[in-house]
Amino acid sequence: MKEEFDQTLLDDTNLIEFLTNDSIDQFRDEFMQLHPYDQAMFFEKVEPDIRRKIFHYLSPKEMAGIFEATKFDDETYEFYLKEMEISYAADMLSCMYADNAVDVLNELGKEQVASYLILMDKESAQEIKDLLHYDEYTAGSIMTTEYVSIPETTSCRSAMKILRREAPNAETIYYLFVVNESHVLTGVVSLRDLIIADEETVIKEIMNERVVSVIVSEDQEEVARKIKDYNFLAVPVVDFEFHLLGIITVDDIIDVLDEEASDDYSKLAAVSHMDTFDKGSLQAAKKRLPWLVILLFLGMLTANLMSIFEQTLDKVALLAVFIPLIAGMAGNSGTQALAVAVRGIATGDIEKQSKMKLLFREAGTGLITGLICGIVVVGIIFFWKHDVVIGLLVGAAIFGSIFVATLGGSFIPLLFHRMKIDPAVASGPFITTINDLVSILIYLGLATFFISSL
């Protein structure tokens, strides 16, 4: 591992030295041997003056490969493009696959996008314009128009000729999508099937007619789920009349899964997905403050609720000792149930099963865990404080709080999902704060009711 690290440092040092000394041939010889991902990593690490030399030494097509090899931060695209001459940047975007170019342009202002589109070749510009019209986070916004399609009446010999002609520009060639004279998707042929088939066989005879496709307006999460379930390398995108519009490849779906997972995790923690390490303290605070202010007001409700039971706490001060314990247990169990529900919605497992089944399962889980934790607490308090009544009260409160919190943690995201609201918005801190309110109400309510026995 150390040798690999040292070698990486050595390669970077050599490349920077070649650029500094204007040794273009030596730089290209060594740089072009690197994997595109390593090229992109080097490109990100160097200073702006070094990057400007890289633009001079590499063609727009070679630079396009670097931009496609890794996902830069959203704001970084604009920063890098501004370092290039505008004609160079336009040529680079023309050389990228259309869906990747759209990802970059979506991060820019409308005036900048228009400037680049004007300078691009007409064919590339038109493909990109068509994709820019689709709503963000839909199948249309992530599909590519660089694919291989063949007429169903074509022979395998002719199909191979089409494949050889289209392959250099296609994003994937492992699937050949079959269309009729109206460009309606009618089947699919794998590269393997095409290679082993007789040259004179008509494509229609060997194609698979049961094609799994996605509608252009379908949500990207649904597309990701379908590709994962069927283990596809690519899936065709069609309109409502099944005209073939493009394809979505598995590498694009990996980016979607990463983006969605990061977004959901951020929401579960009540943190914006834009809150990354490269942001300053002020920017990070602005992203986090709205949720914290909302939770602050909910916390004030908890404080106000405790003031209602002030007389009970005054009479039995020992009750206050166990408030953090009960609130914490409720928050933890609610967050666990929330994580299970959000994950089930994200993976589609809940869609395949009854939502009521999940609720009944979580209710049962809450009863079992609440009962066991309650019994354990009763025993601990009895041996610690030698007070059976307080132990039974705290145990009953923990039992009720865990049951309600577990049920609420699974019910709230299901309700949000039913209302077409992102269930991840029902974030961990939100659930925890709500459960604090409920658990304290249960605990102090029981204590007030049985105050004469305490």
Q: Three-state DSSP class for 249?
A: strand
Cα–Cα distance for residue pair 355/427, rounded to 1 Å: 20
Higher pLDDT, 78 or 209: 209
Assign domain 281-453 to its CATH architecture.
Orthogonal Bundle (1.10)
Contact (CB, 8 A) for 409 and 334? yes
The pLDDT, as a whole number, for residue 3 is: 44
360 or 385: which leads in pLDDT: 360
Average pLDDT over the chain, rounded to an integer: 83
User: Of the segments 11-25, 58-72, 193-207, 358-372, which one has the largest average pLDDT value?
Assistant: 193-207
Band (pLDDT 50/70/90 cuts) for residue 452 is low
pLDDT of residue 271: 53
pLDDT tens sequence across 413-450: 888 777 776 666 555 667 777 778 888 888 888 888 87
Burial 288-310 (b: 16+ CB within 10 A, else e): eeebeeebeebeeebeebbeebe
Which has the closest alpha carbon to 156: 113, 107, 206, 110?
Answer: 206
Q: Label residue 6 by pLDDT band (50, 70, 90).
A: very low
Among 173, 308, 181, 305, CA closest to 249: 173
Q: In this predicted structure, what is the pLDDT of residue 200?
A: 93
Q: Give the confidence band of 277 by pLDDT, cuts at 50, 70, 90.
A: very low
pLDDT of residue 275: 47
Predicted pLDDT at 7: 46
- At 359, is the pLDDT very low, low, confident or very high (cuts 50, 70, 90)? confident
Closest among 394, 402, 403, 400 to 376, alpha carbons compared: 394
Contact 97/69 with Cβ under 8 angstroms?
Answer: no
Distance separating alpha carbons of residues 94 and 129, to the nearest angstrom = 12
Q: Identify how many contiguous H helices and E strands the chain contains and give both numbers.
A: 23, 6
Q: What is the CATH number of domain 2-133?
A: 1.25.60.10
- In this prediction, residue 450 carries a pLDDT of 75
Kindly state the percentage of the chain with pLDDT values over 70: 83
Which tops the pLDDT comparison, 116 or 318? Answer: 116
- Evaluate whether 381 touches 393 at the Cβ level (below 8 Å): no
Query: What confidence tens digit (pLDDT) does each residue in 283-317 have?
Result: 667 766 666 677 677 667 767 766 777 777 666 67
Q: How confident is the model at residue 9 (pLDDT cuts 50, 70, 90)?
A: very low
Q: What is the pLDDT of residues 152-167, one digit of tens each?
A: 999 999 999 999 999 9
CATH architecture of 149-263: Roll (3.10)
What residues does 208 pair with on adjacent strands?
188
Most confident range, picked from 35-39, 142-146, 152-156: 152-156
Phi and psi at residue 128, in whole multiples of 5°? -70, -40
Q: Name the least confident of 70-79, 347-356, 390-399.
A: 347-356
Residue of higher predicted confidence among 96 and 259: 96
Using 50, 70 and 90 to split pLDDT, how confident is the model at 244?
Answer: very high
100 φ, ψ to 5°? -70, -35
Residue 340, pLDDT > 90, answer no
User: How far apart are alpha carbons 129 and 18 in whole angstroms?
Assistant: 39
Q: How many CB atoms lie within 10 A of CB 60?
A: 18
| C-beta separation of 99 from 142 below 8 A | yes
- Encode burial over 132-171: b for 16+ CB neighbours within 10 A, e otherwise: bebeeebbbbbbbbbbbbbbbebbbeebbeebeebeeebb
pLDDT recorded at residue 414: 83
Q: At 59, is the secondary structure helix, strand, or coil? A: coil
In which region does residue 231 sit, left (phi positive, over 0), alpha (psi from -120 to 50) or beta (all else)? Answer: left
> In this structure, what token pair is assigned to residue 333?
């169990």
Q: What is the pLDDT of residue 352?
A: 57
Q: Give me the pLDDT at residue 254, please.
A: 82
Interval 54-67 mean pLDDT = 92
Tokens of 358: 């999940």
Least confident interval from 264-273, 341-350, 398-407: 264-273
Domain boundaries, the chain: 2-133, 149-263, 281-453
pLDDT for position 315: 63
User: Residue range 124-130: average pLDDT?
Assistant: 89
24-33, 67-76, 91-100, 375-384: which has the minimum mean pLDDT? 67-76
Report the pLDDT value the prediction gives residue 62, as an integer from 0 to 100: 93
Mean pLDDT of 157-178: 92
